[in-house]
Structure 1
């Protein structure tokens, strides 16, 4: 039975995001919904001097009235060089810096216009590094005909179009989606609950960017952590 997940594209997201990516057959980047200011679409956290600090992609006139796919990146070379330098200075002594930092540079220096493109690139690049073979699909490219449906009904329509009968969501979706309603539409709804509480690497926490974890653990060690979850 085919499993899918549908989530907004986040910039260098936390490990729980990649657990969901690895748990499904098809992962849909939900980029034709409204941008959320103050969320994780264009920023994330790393640890500097044992305290969390944001790494943020600058945007042009970001607004909750715009779709993620229509939100443009402010391509200011100075701002991006500052972001690169911040990451380099923090992690240049980390054991896996020479493997991971070139991937980050590839993402930040990529040919893109929107935050959707950049954040999707960050996720696909890391998924490739971790040898995750999940198929990726972009909602703005494939499911424009479902945009008039509301929330759970739209997700169910996308599931049916992809011939999927199981939809996996993050735990935060429990207050948004009802298992019974999905079951009535022929879809099994499950929530992924990570069983990782702390990285134990310089105060690293599960809700930080996976970047912090990749700098300190090997691919095989991270892949082992990807399997630490429950589906409820």
Structure 2
């Protein structure tokens, strides 16, 4: 999966159902995607974006080349857009701590590095195993990929995996035979909408995991990752 910025809860349901996570950073970068922004509750109503401004946002680069313009300002902006949760959300302090942990452990201005540390911080808080590898560091032969659905079977085959799991929204990308001819089981994870009490706000499903964690205990979230997940056949 591409490295998203504090993604929605369904992303972590996928992590919870896999043994190894491949951070997909070798394809063309997509500006204004979930890699550089997400959504949290707005102080008045609805939601607003939290963003990671980049120094080189362009389709001319690969994802691994994306660089954060200013890590300090990005952290300050994100934390600033979370301050309205302070007196209302029961787990505000814990969420701020995990956000700071992600930024503290990012050693350079790499967007991939920041987003991976964000995933790791959330998984650590939820006590979810997160065994990840960075695709660009694996030395795989990916020169002949000619379609969006070609990356996953090629990577899976070269890593010698027995099964590959993808979000259900991507079912149309794949030809199941690209997996079965190499004895790889293909599955799709469907994650049901999760609604929760966000008083005095109105719950908006599908926001960043940061919003979910503001209102729900780690134990409750772990249960939802199981109860709201369904693995589908091709």
Q: After TM superposition, is the score higher than 0.5?
A: yes
The unaligned stretches of length 5 or more in structure 1 are 1-6
Relative to 1, partners in 2 of residues 1:102 and 1:149: Cα closer, same or farther, differing over 3 Å? same
CA RMSD of aligned residues (A): 1.8
How far has the Cα of 1:219 moved from its partner? 0.5
Mapped partners of 1:204, 1:148: distance in 2: 45
22-31 vs 148-157, greater mean Cα deviation: 148-157
The aligned residue for residue 188 of structure 2 is 191
The unaligned stretches of length 5 or more in structure 2 are none
Task: Say whether residues 1:13 and 2:7 are aligned partners.
Answer: yes
97-106 vs 193-202, greater mean Cα deviation: 193-202
Relative to 1, partners in 2 of residues 1:8 and 1:76: Cα closer, same or farther, differing over 3 Å? closer
Structure 1's consecutive aligned runs of 4 or more residues displaced over 4 angstroms after TM superposition are none
TM-score (norm 2): 0.89
Mapped partners of 1:47, 1:132: distance in 2: 25
SS in 2 for 1:146: coil
Would you say how many aligned residue pairs link Structure 1 and Structure 2? 225
Q: Map 1:30-109 onto structure 2 (within 5 A).
A: 30-48=24-42, 49-75=44-70, 77-87=72-82, 89-93=83-87, 94-109=89-104
TM-score (norm 1): 0.89
How far has the Cα of 1:191 moved from its partner? 0.9
- The Cα offsets for residues 84-120 of structure 1, whole Å up to 9 and x where unpaired, read as 2122x12212101121211112223432211111111
Greater relative contact order: 1 or 2 (C-alpha under 8 angstroms, separation 6 or more)? 1
